[in-house]
Amino acid sequence: MKTEIEALRDPAARLVILTGAGISAESGLSTFRGNGGLWDGWPVEEVATPEAFERDPALVWRFYGERRRTAMDAEPNEAHRAVAAAERTMGERFLLVTQNIDGLHEAAGSRRVLPIHGSLWTTRCTGCGRRRPDRELHATLPVCERCGALERPDIVWFGERLDPAHLERLQAFLLRADDDHVPSVFLAIGTSGVVQPAASFVRFARACGAAAWLNDLDGTAENAPLFEHVVPGPATRVVPALLAPVG
């Protein structure tokens, strides 16, 4: 395939990439929208909410233990690597925003990344807020060494707010491209455009003058009409081609 984002040939161009579960699908991690709202057989809205954790923390920890177990063996793919290569070429003209919690972008070498939905690899205290690196599966409920309160996965669940610092960085990045009158591109990869507010970032990007591109397996993402260019196909094939000018 020959499709590439030509605007990226401009040496002043800025690029924002937003990724979702689809970019990790070819690394063997399951998405959920395609499976009737199930994430590996689990009803997502029933395990990924603060209410679920209050009701049954052991069940929620079992679900995230299962996520850790599968993600632990997963490797970044060609699409993750192409995204990391674009960052190496573009430096501070590049920003990655990911809804994924699997850590595969970081494993591929991405550094300028905002993990807006949190991380599978840290755990947070519900009492004092302390975060710590954690790769365990937790057969018994983990408690904080410092204050003794129950610990939780460091995930932004349905119904919880994103870190305002992440949103500010994204907005400042797009506003600056607009102020400087340089070409800018917003590229969404493998996200169904259902989960807010990420599904609306494309609106803000376009209001800031960015050209909007979407790669999705079959082009059926719910917010596809908001994009000017929709390129269907598997991310490992499409993304390296789109990013060839900065690869």
Q: Is 186 near ligand NAD (CB under 6 A)?
A: no
CA–CA dist 144, 127 (Å, integer)? 8
149 vs 167, beta carbon nearer Zn ion: 149
Q: Which residue among the candidates 80, 117, 138, 166 is catalytic per the annotation?
A: 117
Q: Is 117 a catalytic residue?
A: yes
Tokens of 87: 């960052």
Is the distance from CB of 98 to CB of 84 less than 8 angstroms? no
Binding to Zn ion in span 148-167, by CB under 5 A: 149
Query: Which listed residue (55, 88, 131, 146) binds Zn ion by CB under 5 A?
Result: 146
Binding mask 40-69 for ligand NAD (x = CB under 6 A): ------------------------------
CA–CA dist 200, 212 (Å, integer)? 12
Query: Which listed residue (13, 14, 102, 123) binds ligand NAD by CB under 6 A?
Result: 102
Amino acid at 236: T
* DSSP string computed for 32-99: SGGGTTEETTEEHHHHSSHHHHHH-HHHHHHHHHHHHHHHHT----HHHHHHHHHHHHHGGGEEEEE-
73 vs 92, beta carbon nearer ligand NAD: 73
Tell me which residue of 79, 76, 95 sits closest to 234, measured CA to CA. Answer: 79
Residues binding Zn ion (CB under 5 A): 125, 127-128, 130, 144, 146-147, 149
Residues binding ligand NAD (CB under 6 A): 20-22, 24-26, 29, 31-34, 39, 99-102, 117, 190-192, 194-195, 215-218, 221, 234-235
Q: Which residues are catalytic?
A: 117
